[in-house]
Structure 1
Amino acid sequence: MRLAYQFKLRLTKSQTTEIERWLDMLRHQYNYLLADRFAWYEQNRCAINSCPIVCHLPEPRDNPDYYSQKRTLPQLKKDRPWYKAIHANVLQDCVKRVDLAFKRFLKGDSNGRRSGRPRFKTKERFRSLTFSAFSKSPIDGNRLNLPKFGWVKMVYHRPIPSGFKIKTATVTRKADGYYVTLSIQDDTVPDVIAIEEVTNPIGIDMGLKSFLVKSDGSEVEIPQYYRKAQKRLKKIQKAVSRSKKGSKNRKKAVKRLGQAHKKVADTRKDFHFKTAKNLLSNHDLVAHEKLNIKGLAKTRMAKSVLDAGWGQFLSILSTKAVRVAWPTAINAGLITKAVNPRNTSQNCSNCGQKVPKKLKDRIHSCPHCGYTADRDVNAAKNILKLAVGHPVCSSAARS
């Protein structure tokens, strides 16, 4: 089981200068390795399925891959001795990032979805580096020991759970400073509650009027952090647009804009964590719809959908359910189940008959059994029934 813990770093001026130097060297190496991949690709590919009779044959050369490019690192340190300051695993991770970006460009991910052509990194776009080798006790109080970099102070606001080991540490430059993300692992597998042993299930229906509505009738109000911050963001964006490109004032305005956007993202994420904790503290099964969030983000509701952050919330909810990293619920082994949203808003949760409604109709009133409830509460009850194995429509309605 892997979890990610993020802490803010308190770097000294010399440490900040050194980490910037490392990032700059890694960026140059990333661009060099990516250019090497593109050079081989352009020389050896053919736009048609057969070559012409007269053509230029490039010099024979093996296709550069992860292992061949990793073998060039010892020679890199001989030719450019300043690269010896960087830990070997950090350099190897740079090669891995190039390999991953190029493979997604040519072959795609596990689902076959291909990414666009990898871009060369500017200083603003190369913002992180990863350490993957640690001593037995890399944390001492509020200090973290980064290999070949030294001890750094961090805001250690929550301890690492017992039994977990630090596997990687990714240092990232953000708008308001540097952060470290610790990837921790525990090989023990928590016992997951069987569906038959569930005693306090709940169904939730995600919405834009309310963030979510529970099957018991209660709801969580939607905060709309981005919409509330739009006026302030617009003012800062105007300052960025009016300043001259390349000037110091523009850089300051861009930094302020980044900090403002990060504040919106952080407050939204904090709300998601607290909402997930409240659900998992009171229920051992949480059922929700399997939403097509990417499709909804292309509609007229895009701003509201992205401001709500359904995808981030459901990801947090499912991760925390398996192993909730709070003092009162370690090794929770709870269940989150995504169900097909088809007809969950249309069918009656009481009798199962279909009651067609438009989006503007917010009250469910069944003419067959007389059941009346809020549209979202009715949907949440149908979602819960699907999760525990009951159909959302009766046999009479299916016939």
Structure 2
Amino acid sequence: MGDAVNDVIAARRDAYEAGEKFPSAAELSKRLITDAKRTSARSWLGDVSSVVLQQALRDADQAYSNFFDSISGKRKGRKSGAPRFKGRRDRRQSIRFTANAKFSITRGGKLRLQKIGSVPIKLSRLLPSTPSSVTVIKDASGRYFASFVVDVEPEPIAVEAPEIGVDLGLEHFAVLSDGTKIDAPRILRRAEEKLKRAQRNLTRKKKGSANREKARTKLARAHARVADARRDFHHQLSTHLIRENQAIAVEDLSVSGLARTRLAKSVLDAGWSSFTAMLEYKATLYGRKFIRIGRFEPTSQACSNCESKDGPKPLRVRIWQCKACGVWLDRDINAAVNVAAAAGLAVTACGAQVRPPVRVAKRVEAGTHRGDLARRSPCIQTR
């Protein structure tokens, strides 16, 4: 409910500018919901479920709590900005119903919501337990989703499993310390031409027209398909790694820094941050071990065989030879082994060793002069 959130932000700002104490949640609820329903400007609030309005006030209050905790240092991660007003251009909208709203799923497969009615839905899977809340979301492409909060029991998985290190990259999305290489899907790159055509079609439409809105929706759906495909790839790979390995170590990459380089589009297309976040919460869910190592570990500079540092190397160097022990190493697998070693995992360095690359012989070495053959064999005569 954008209007309810905007009223909370306005009330907080007015109190701050007047030097007064911030109003409590109870005061805001009475002023912005109960009393506002009696006014002509906000009489339409009576047609909305009171649970939805209360949840909107709680979301705004939580946004302020996150903001203050962020600037004080209590909240880790990137600094959160101050809550902003919701505008008409905010394409994503959502409302949340808790158990107090008495929502239910009918036998006919419909979602019954308070003061809305029965809405047909398609469940992606059967709910394992009774949901405690449901959030109805409308995204920028005009699609509607119902997100249920349920209690689930983690599925039993094998206790004995190997430990691996994971090196994330662009040519290969992930390289494991056991030598496995997973190709990067490059979802955005593959859909780039379609996105460009949809964007050009949007710019040709007159602003404010119905055709422009249709073109905008078409472009938003194209972007949504890219995001859905990337998310599905991350889910499948993260679930596979968690099921098959007891402990997983990854490097804490500076994605925001890499996004300011010439590789920005490929870095953002890979989505490393969302993938590692999935690994982390799934490891907690299934009782696995997830480790992040520091971003300043020389994983691509050190030899996994003798642990000697060989210095930084350009990205074009994919196979290199250690100057100390003479072993030829695959750059990505060697980095994955070093990631696992830095995390204290027991892995072998044999998978990083490769055969020396084939060297092209020089012309003086590859051929034999005809005169040399004549001198070696008396049967061959030269003219």
Aligned to 1:33: 8
1:338: which partner in 2? 292
Partner of 1:183: 149
Alignment size in residue pairs: 338
Counterpart position of 1:302:
264
| 3-state SS, counterpart of residue 205 of structure 1 | strand
Residue-by-residue CA offset, 1:248-272 (whole Å, 9 max, x unaligned): 1111111111001001000111111
Shift, 1:371, TM fit? 2.3
Deviation at 1:143, TM superposition (A): 3.1
Residue 377 of structure 2 is matched in structure 1 by none
Question: For residues 198 and 333 of structure 2, what CA distance do their matches in structure 1 show?
Answer: 40
TM-score (norm 2): 0.79
CA distance in 2: counterparts of 1:306 and 1:112, whole angstroms = 19
Are the structure 2 counterparts of residues 334 and 263 from structure 1 closer, same or farther at C-alpha, using a change threshold of 3 Å? Answer: same
Residue 348 of structure 1 aligns with an amino acid whose one-letter code is C
**Alignment gaps of 5+ in structure 1:** 1-25, 45-60, 324-331, 394-399
Match in the other structure for 2:30? 71
Q: Closer, same or farther in 2 for the Cα pair 1:135/1:92, shift >3 Å?
A: closer
Task: Supply the distance in 2 between the matched residues of 1:241 and 1:335 (Cα, whole angstroms).
Answer: 49
Structure 1: distance between partners of 2:160 and 2:255? 28
- CA distance 1:106–1:137, shift in 2 (3 Å): closer
Q: What per-residue deviation string (whole Å, max 9, x for no partner) do you get for residues 286-312 of structure 1?
A: 221122222222222211111000111
- What does residue 52 of structure 2 align with? 90
Is structure 2 residue 163 aligned with structure 1 residue 201? yes
2:132 aligns to what SS in structure 1? strand
Structure 1 equivalent of residue 86 of structure 2: 121
- One-letter amino acid of the counterpart of residue 77, structure 1: K
8 Å CA contact 1:289–1:383 kept in 2: the answer is: yes
The Cα of 1:367 is off from its aligned counterpart by: 2.1
Tell me what 1:329 maps to: none
Deviations 1:330-369 (A, max 9, x none): xx32222212241111111111111223133211321222
Give the match's secondary structure for 1:144.
strand
**3-state SS of paired residue (1:179):** strand
Match of 2:335 in 1: 379
Give the one of 243, 251, 260 matched to 2:213: 251
Shift of 1:192: 11
Higher normalized contact order (CA 8 Å, seq sep 6+, divided by chain length): 1
Deviation at 1:36, TM superposition (A): 2.2
User: Normalization by structure 1: what TM-score?
Assistant: 0.76
SS of corresponding position for 2:203: helix
| Structure 2 residues without counterparts, runs of 5 or longer | 350-383
Alignment partners' CA distance in 1, 2:101 and 2:26 = 26
Match of 2:112 in 1: 145
SS of equivalent residue, structure 1 residue 213: strand
Conserved? CA contact 2:340–2:347, under 8 Å? no
Q: Percent identity?
A: 35
Does structure 1 retain, via aligned residues, the 8 Å contact 2:166–2:336? yes
Alpha-carbon distance in 1 for matches of 2:25, 2:288? 39
Change (3 A) 1:134 1:184: farther
Query: In the alignment, what sits opposite 2:313?
Result: 358
Cα distance between partner residues in 1 of 2:282 and 2:106: 27
- Which range is displaced more, 354-363 or 126-135? 126-135
Give the conservation status (yes or no) of the 8 Å contact 2:103–2:114.
no
- Counterpart Cα distance in 2 of 1:266 and 1:37: 37
Q: Which moved more, 1:219-228 or 1:172-181?
A: 172-181
Quick one: distance in 1 between partners of 2:115 and 2:35?
20
- Write the deviation string for residues 156-201 of structure 1: whole angstroms up to 9, x where unpaired: 121233xx55233211112142111222235x799999xxx75411
